[in-house]
Amino acid sequence: MIKANVQAKLSLRILSVMAEFGRTLFRLRVLWLTLFYILLLIEIPHLAPLFSWLFPDDQRPMYTRASFLDLAFAHVCLVAVSTAFSAAIGLGAGIFVTRESGREFLPLVSTLAAMGQVFPPIAVLALAIPSLGFGAAPTLVALILYAILPILAATITGIDSVSPQVKEAAHGMGFSGIAILRKIELPLALPFILAGLQNAITINIGTATIGSSIGALSLGSPILEGLSANNPAYVVEGAILVALLAIVTNGWFEVLEMGTLLRLQSR
């Protein structure tokens, strides 16, 4: 009996070490991919001979109107700012409609959030230009509207997934409604909320490229210029960098989600 217990503990220990090794290896892969992406942003102008060979008909195969590092920084700023506003709105609305006083507003809030994704981004840009002008401002409006729904839906799903028995037990222990939300509901809903944020950021990384059509600096600038000038090299350069940015971002979110799950399991 004692020998069986020792073997079981040893097996669990081995599995734990292997799992931690796998997580460390994944974090290192994401880190190396991030460093490779930054290096690519800096060194991509030196790949002009490669693009000349791939696109021999293009007289200017390398986009030079702005540095790719500046384009990526502007792109990340658009995504980060818009997602922060979307998270504040989506998280706040999700918490509100999961309270007893706000349940009746759930259909209305969900419909309004869904409408943000029904409108094409280019239509939102066109409507925002008269009041906000050209550039980053109308792009931010479109991105904010587009990212609210996944965050709102994830927040509602996460909070509703918390067992009513757990909340009743906490209430019986003297927890206030705010304390239950802060110490129980939100921590348990965090994996869902992170997944919603990940979806929102991925959507915004792709959608932010459209902002270049109204003068916003982003990685969409070479793509749109390539399309208008019939220069496929520009399109490929921009598309590769946008896709890699999404992959890197998703990788870091996976790392964050793994850490969150570990903290929840250790409680």
Over residues 226-245, the mean pLDDT reads 92
Burial class of residue 31, CB neighbours in 10 A (0-12, 13-18, 19+): middle
Q: What is the pLDDT of residues 100-131, one digit of tens each?
A: 887 888 888 878 777 766 777 777 777 788 88
Domain residue limits, the chain: 23-48+62-266
- Give one DSSP letter per residue of 34-82, joined into a string: HHHHHHHHHHGGGGHHHHHHH-TT-S--S--SS-HHHHHHHHHHHHHHH
pLDDT confidence tier of residue 235, bands split at 50, 70 and 90: very high
Nearest residue to 264 via CA among 148, 150, 161: 161
Predicted local confidence at residue 135, as pLDDT? 82
pLDDT confidence tier of residue 164, bands split at 50, 70 and 90: confident
pTM of the model: 0.86
CATH number of 23-48+62-266: 1.10.3720.10
- Given a cut of 70, whether residue 264 has pLDDT beyond it is no
- Tokens 């587009």 label which residue? 146
Q: At what angle do helices 220-228 and 68-97 cross, to 10 degrees?
A: 120
Q: What is the pLDDT of residues 208-227, one digit of tens each?
A: 998 888 888 999 999 999 99
Q: Which string of b and e fits 62-80 if b means at least 16 CB within 10 Å?
A: bbeeeebeebbebbbebbe
Mean pLDDT of all residues belonging to the chain: 84
Task: Please give the share of the chain, as a percent, with pLDDT higher than 70.
Answer: 88
Predicted local confidence at residue 256, as pLDDT? 84
Q: Is the CB of residue 188 less than 8 Å from the CB of residue 264?
A: yes
Q: Which residues of the chain form beta strands (DSSP E)?
A: none
Predicted local confidence at residue 179, as pLDDT? 85
pLDDT: which is higher, 162 or 238: 238
